[in-house]
A and B are shown apart, each in its own frame.
Chain A
Amino acid sequence: MTASANGARSSEGARESFAQRARGPGMALLAGYLVFALLVIAYGQSPRTILGLLFEGTLGSSYGFGQVLFKAAPLLLLSCAFEFARRGGIFNLGLDGQLALGSFAVGVVGTRLAGIPSLMALPAALLLAACGGALSAAVPWIFRQRFGAPEVVTGLLMNRLVEALISYGLGAGLGLPGTVRTADLPVGLRFARLDTWLPALRGSAVSTALLLSVAVLLLLAWLARNLRWFREYALFGMQPKVARTLQLPTKQFIAAAFLVSGAIAGLGSAVSVLGYKGYFEQGLGAGAGFSAIAVSMLGKGRVLPTLLAGLLFGALEQGGLAVNAYVPKELFQVVTAVVIASVAISDGALSRMTRRAA
């Protein structure tokens, strides 16, 4: 059993050379850049100028860099969530709904945590966030197990449903009357802004929640290498029939793929609700799912590539604002689509996963 689980690990890329591993993402980024350049030219601008603006708005100032880190933090968490589910053979396309429900849970219940010391309140809030995310992921899980419904469809559906239900909840007394936000969280219930220690980052919204993102990434990478359970889980993701023959606990693996992934996605609220706004607002942190999937596909659970990809897409989100006066920032969504498609073309492991639930 161990031998095959180890074999699974090596075919996920551990024995490939750096050049082999870097080829797919490298080509994808090149394709992304080419499309970016073409689109910028189509808008009558020079790619070099726009690229200059992009650099200036992101890496050019310590404020800009802080904003990049701020945008990268939830992307890292969501990409970890996507990667975890993917390892177990599940496509989690409900990231946005899971993040939203986690954030909403923190925003609503968090206000009732006043008076509790922040050392206890903060973990409690994170637990809430994780539960909210897992709850949203539980629906696709149950529907797949009970009714054989493909998780992709139910995941996408949950994104919409959660949005509608939150909007209803905010109107039905869970939010401040007449607004689309919740009341302020207690003062202690925050992740400190990094600029309290690093004055250079002043004004940027990056907080210690970034450390949480990195910690989750490191922890998952470590567990993937060292935990036997995780190797068996990954084996199930790639070869479900083999895992069944080996009598591994496959039902447990599927449950974990959904619920843990949802919980990680829910933790993303640490960045936006606990680290930035201090309350929940409708649409907060929305739309990060696509970029997170791109990050995850480029990084594939490896620490350094995921960090770099997270920074890149964080920079694109932040940089989009810097260039928006010249070219629409939505161009970067097109670029992201190209990157996703290109990695998928070059990466056999991602494409081999053609299990159809229906």
Chain B
Amino acid sequence: VGSESLYGQVVRMVYPYAFCALGGLVSERAGVMHVGLEGILLGSALAAAVGSLALGSAWAGLAAGVTLGALFGVIHAELCAKRNVNPILSGLAINLLALGGTRSVLRGFYHSSANSPSIAGFSWLRDSHSALGATLLDPLFWLLLLVALALPWGFARTRFGLAVRGVGEAPQAAEVLGLQVPQIRYRAIVLGSAIAGLGGVALAFDAKQFQSQMSAGKGFIALIAVLIGRMLPGRVLVACVLFAVLDALQVVFQGRPGIPTELYASLPYLAALLALAIAGMRRGTQHTDG
């Protein structure tokens, strides 16, 4: 297995993690943990497939995925920013909604319990491209670059970005300064969820179809990437790449003698725990309940 194919695997694996984690970061910066990322990943993957199939265009699929992400974000925000529901419970509800909803829609639209009909993704992306060429031709790459560059700039320079940080770091102080805390959280959650929706689009375009439960815990791993990256876009992205490398190793080494495949499947989760431990130790354990 050449290094180029490993590179290719990593790149395709990184999009769902990265979009999801950057979206989750926006919400987390506003002080709301986004447990619903997993559901958004799943839901927007289906939306991307439905949009592509219904309108015959990958761009329509992309728009549908982002829209569904934002829609789930509205539900999430309506519950936890406006109605004071614990974000963990509203995130949980989002995940369950996506789990049941995608399977119901799958059956209602395509009479299948497993997957949607196949979609083309972006038609100009072919296997014949070199790995690097395929990356540069993929609109998702440019979108990820855009999001990754826009977020640090936004948090540092825009009024909204500063408000989000203020609301997340010191909600009471922000309120005293006249910021509408629920409203700012609301917008941050919807924006973050829309970004996370791009992760679902990437998932569906990569598999060339929607598959039942195809998010497979990636949303939770993304949540961990936000934590260990300490809500800094650059570090969060690095964490995502590391998780993508582990996923890619799983694909590349599949079927080789030595380590059994099932053990590879647990690698990203073990790595996530390890990363949490290291991040926790570096932070020092000032967090004590006793």
Contact = CB atoms under 8 A, between A and B. Distances in A.
Nearest to A151: B88
Contacts of B220: 153, 156-157, 160
A167 B92 contact: no
B90 interface: yes
A143 B273 contact: yes
Interface string B200-235: 000000000000000001001101100100000000
- Count class of interface residues, chain B: 35 or more
B251 interface: no
B104 A357 contact: no
A153 B104 contact: no
Interface of A: 39, 42-43, 91, 93, 139, 143-150, 152-154, 156-157, 160-161, 164-165, 167-168, 171-172, 240, 250-251, 254, 290, 293, 297, 327-328, 330-338, 340-341, 344-345, 350-354, 356-358
Contacts of A332: 100
A146 B280 CA distance: 8
B262 A91 contact: no
Given A157-B272, A340-B89, 19 more contacts: A149-B227, A149-B277, A153-B227, A161-B266, A161-B270, A164-B262, A168-B263, A254-B290, A328-B107, A330-B100, A330-B103, A331-B104, A333-B97, A333-B103, A334-B96, A334-B101, A344-B90, A351-B89, A358-B227
A172 B103 contact: no
Contacts, number: 164
A147 B227 contact: no
A348 B104 CA distance: 32
B134 interface: no
A17 to B, nearest CB: 23
Contacts of B103: 328, 330, 333
Given A341-B85, A344-B85, A344-B89, A333 B99 contact: yes
Contact of A143 (B83, B265, B277): B277
Given A149-B280, A157-B220, A351-B84, A341 B269 contact: no
Contacts of B189: none
A354 B79 contact: no
14 contacts: A146-B280, A153-B227, A153-B276, A154-B273, A156-B38, A157-B220, A157-B272, A160-B269, A167-B262, A168-B262, A297-B89, A328-B108, A353-B86, A356-B33
B289 A351 contact: no
Interface in B109-131: 113
A250 B290 contact: yes
Interface of B: 31, 33, 35, 38, 75, 79, 83-90, 92-94, 96-97, 99-101, 103-104, 107-108, 113, 217, 220-221, 223-224, 227, 260, 262-263, 265-266, 269-270, 272-273, 276-277, 279-281, 283, 285-290
Contact of A333 (B86, B100, B113, B260): B100
A148 B283 contact: yes
A351 B290 contact: no
B103 to A, nearest CB: 4
Given A154-B273, A250-B289, A345 B92 contact: no
B266 A165 contact: yes
